[in-house]
Amino acid sequence: MDCFALGTTPLGTIRTPFLSILLVTIPVAIGASGMMSTLMAVNPFLAVVTILVPRFLEGLCTAYLFKFFQNKVKAGKASYFLGAICCPLLNTILFMGCIVIFFYNSDYIQGLVESFGVSNPISFIIALVGVQGLIEAVSCCVLAGAASWALQKAIKR
């Protein structure tokens, strides 16, 4: 809810003459810091890879998928919404994929697996981020898709 309030109101941005500083990532960072600090204790190098590589690939892959939808599939206006939904889906797949690949057998993740009562990596991912991931994907599809399409229209004028 904090992210929604920061993302949809002026509270989430500090405007300067040269750039805007987004505060929407603060609740995400606070929420993720517990898991990531624990994973840093397990393996600092793999924790940094888990933090950085999925974010880089998420942006890169989203851009290429948008271009694919726009140029090859000829999806028109839908390409903005398809590209927008790819971003949170790729984020979840890549980030959680790294956690599963690098840390699934760690005591910490196995403790989470046990507390969720799941038996395999896929059910662990669904239990950990399922509902939130779905809400993020739908809201990003609608909001970012509409904003991207409107921005493109405004730029072309």
Residues 29 and 59 in one domain: no
Residues 21 and 88 in one domain: no
Residues 9 and 65 in one domain: no
Residues 11 and 24 in one domain: yes
Chunked into runs of 10 residues, the chain (157 residues) has average pLDDT values of: 51 66 62 79 94 91 93 90 92 94 95 92 90 86 90 84
Count of the separate structural domains present in the chain: 2
23 φ, ψ to 5°? -100, 0
> Range of 104's domain?
43-156
SS3 17: coil
pTM, two decimal places: 0.74
Q: Read off the pLDDT of residues 90-123 as tens digits, 9 standing for 90 and up.
A: 999 999 999 999 999 999 999 999 999 998 999 9
Residues 20 and 49 in one domain: no
Mean pLDDT, the chain, rounded, equals 84
Give whole-number Cα distances, 85 to 69, 79, 88, in Å.
12, 10, 6
E runs forming strands in the chain: 13-15, 20-22
